[in-house]
């Protein structure tokens, strides 16, 4: 049902279907095809109704097959909030007060895996694209965590995909935040200590040029790892501190949340807490 | 200039203006008004050209004032990649191979501030909205980090905005990841230890109901903080471990990056590294 009829001062008014949110606003999620002139009439009537009801934020979610309604929505004063492959979310703010519309997702989450075998060799790769392409640089396996994926899962998946090696997540040794890395968005990169569960390398041809187990000292000796303030220099120091000096990173523990029903994890320095 | 003419086999062909990206694709960023029929012709010709050149990803960035071109772009096979308030990014993948189009931003980054004065009192607030509204719960000041903002800056800003208290960032004690918290996106929440630089509370009327310095034991005694697996229970334990047991969190250090020219920070356990 893509429109609703309500009783209003003894006359029937056609409105867009909307549900109230927890912040005094309404959310409209259209699903079925609608002509833009029909939509325009419903939108104008609905906006009047919501304004008289003192509603604040108005959200309109348009699946990509309703792209014919985007122009009309924008011309009625809405702006883009966010988009995913199959929908566009538009928003409007009715009151005269400052908008409290929440911000869009701002960060991509990356992971890097430190995987050492018992000969003090590190699992390293050469990539087919990105900054290190064609440079001969050997780096740790890295990747991007997917929406809905735990950091500790994402890093296991990426190591497996790139190198074929099975690993177990141990802890986060460090994280790095940086900005304006893609489309103006920011990036959080988690350096993870992993325990290998298998040792035979099978590279992923699409992204990886080569992979090997390389002695720690050789990895460290590469010029780009020698640069004192570089990320790789820190990664090597953290790796050696973990192996030689009992460095404590953050380990995950299940935690309950008001925000989500699924199990969540809090990562902290367990050694120091106990 | 929103179109280009190139020489092609002795005839002039009108194409959309495009720049090559580092991954074998092209990026079109339109700025000036264009009728959709003119755009359609240029897009079809350009796609043929790019296909014959072996281009991979095709990105079209449409500012919101060019909303009239969105429908045409989608009907030519493009889909949404992401959107911000003032533009929509659409994308297409020409080859038959699997798309390597990068993922959209997946996480929102939140911060929570542990601020203690020298009487072992904690800075706590009651919020006007969200899960704790109307519950009488006293919680730590929290907020969302903005795009381009360091975690260590964002938490100082949020404490100042909500309570008027100036603080200095000390370290990240822990972080919590959870999923599907808003529009299907994930959330990373950093628990930060702060040192207060001022003590007179001035609450922000829009979001905050009340704020006070409350004895640690009283904060801890609240039922929601007593729940063993709750985030607040962990926060209180971490706070006491920091004050009483020399708990080490992660502190930020500048680091260089291939990804960004601006200064970045890596956060790690400095005590254990040295």
**Domain ranges, ordered by start, for chain A:** 4-93, 107-268
pLDDT at B11 over 60: no
Which residues of A are annotated as catalytic? 161
Which of 29-58 (B) contact A at CB < 8 A?
A: none
Percent of the residues in chain A that have a pLDDT greater than 70, as a whole number: 93
Closest CA to A91 of B98, B9, B38, B85: B85
State ipTM. 0.86
For the stretch B115-150, pLDDT in tens is 999 999 999 999 987 777 778 899 999 999 988 899
For the stretch A201-223, pLDDT in tens is 999 888 899 999 999 999 999 99
Q: Exposed, middle or buried by CB within 10 Å (0-12, 13-18, 19+), for A72?
A: middle
Closest Cβ opposite residue A238 in set B182, B264, B273: B273
pLDDT at B91 over 50: yes
Please identify, in words, the CATH class of the domain defined by A4-93: alpha beta
Which residues of B are annotated as catalytic? 161
Q: Is A199 on the interface with B (CB under 8 A)?
A: no
Chain B positions touching A254 (Cβ under 8 A) are 229
Nearest chain B residue (CA) to A238:
B273
Question: Of A71-80, A166-175, B254-263, where does mean pLDDT reach its minimum?
Answer: B254-263
Q: What is the mean pLDDT of chain B?
A: 90
Q: How many CA atoms lie within 13 A of B26 on its CB side?
A: 19
Q: Is A137 on the interface with B (CB under 8 A)?
A: no
Which of 152-171 (A) contact B at CB < 8 A?
A: none
Distance in Å, alpha carbon of A224 to nearest chain B alpha carbon:
11
CATH for A107-268, among 3.90.1150.10, 3.90.79.10, 3.90.660.10, 3.30.470.10?
3.90.79.10
Chain A positions touching B237 (Cβ under 8 A) are 273
pLDDT at B1: 41
Please compute the mean of the pLDDT values over residues A189-199 and round it to a whole number: 97
Within 10 Å of residue A40's Cβ, how many Cβ atoms? Answer: 16
What CA–CA distance (Å, rounded) separates B166 from B168? 7
pLDDT at B263: 75
pLDDT at B129: 75
Do A81 and B83 make contact, defined as CB atoms within 8 angstroms?
Answer: yes
Distance in Å, alpha carbon of B49 to nearest chain A alpha carbon:
24
What CA–CA distance (Å, rounded) separates A148 from A146? 6
Q: A3 vs B225, which has greater pLDDT?
A: B225
Closest CA to B174 of B241, B118, B106, B119: B241
Chain B positions touching A176 (Cβ under 8 A) are 255, 257, 264-267
Is residue A54 classed as helix, strand or coil in its secondary structure?
A: coil
Q: Is B240 on the interface with A (CB under 8 A)?
A: no
Chain B positions touching A234 (Cβ under 8 A) are 253, 255, 266, 268
pLDDT at A165: 98
Contact (Cβ atoms closer than 8 angstroms) between residue A80 and residue A89: yes
Please compute the mean of the pLDDT values over residues A102-117 and round it to a whole number: 92
pLDDT at B9 over 70: no
pLDDT at A183 over 90: no
What CA–CA distance (Å, rounded) separates B107 from B187? 5
Tell me which fold the domain B12-93 belongs to.
Aminopeptidase (3.40.630)
Distance in Å, alpha carbon of A45 to nearest chain B alpha carbon:
23
Q: A132 vs B31, which has greater pLDDT?
A: B31
Q: Is A176 on the interface with B (CB under 8 A)?
A: yes
pLDDT level of residue A93 (50, 70, 90 thresholds): very high
Closest CA to B2 of B55, B69, B54: B69
């Amino acid at each position: 049902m893509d429109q609703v009829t309500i009783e209003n001062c003894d006359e029937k008014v056609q409105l867009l279907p909307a549900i109230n949110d927890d912040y005094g606003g309404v959310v409209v999620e259209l699903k079925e095809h609608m002509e833009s002139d029909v939509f325009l009439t419903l939108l104008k009537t609905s906006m009047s109704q919501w304004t008289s009801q003192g509603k604040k934020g108005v959200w309109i979610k348009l699946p990509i097959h309703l792209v014919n309604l985007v122009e009309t929505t924008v011309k009625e004063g809405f702006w883009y909030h966010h988009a995913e492959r199959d929908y566009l979310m538009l928003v409007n703010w009715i009151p005269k007060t400052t908008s409290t519309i929440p911000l869009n997702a701002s960060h991509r989450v990356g992971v890097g895996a430190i995987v050492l075998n018992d000969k003090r060799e590190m699992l390293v790769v050469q990539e087919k694209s990105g900054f290190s392409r064609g440079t001969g640089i050997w780096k740790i396996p890295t990747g991007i965590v997917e929406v809905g994926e735990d950091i500790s899962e994402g890093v296991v998946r990426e190591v497996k995909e790139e190198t074929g090696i099975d690993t177990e997540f141990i802890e986060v040794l460090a994280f790095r935040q940086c900005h304006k890395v893609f489309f103006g968005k920011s990036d959080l990169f988690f350096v993870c200590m992993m325990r290998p569960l298998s040792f035979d390398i099978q590279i992923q041809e699409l992204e990886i040029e080569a992979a090997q187990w390389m002695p720690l000292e050789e990895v460290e000796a590469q010029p780009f790892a020698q640069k004192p303030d570089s990320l790789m220099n820190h990664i090597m120091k953290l790796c050696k501190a973990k192996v030689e000096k009992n460095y404590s990173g953050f380990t995950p523990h299940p935690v309950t949340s008001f925000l989500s029903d699924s199990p969540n994890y809090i990562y902290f320095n367990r050694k120091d807490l106990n």
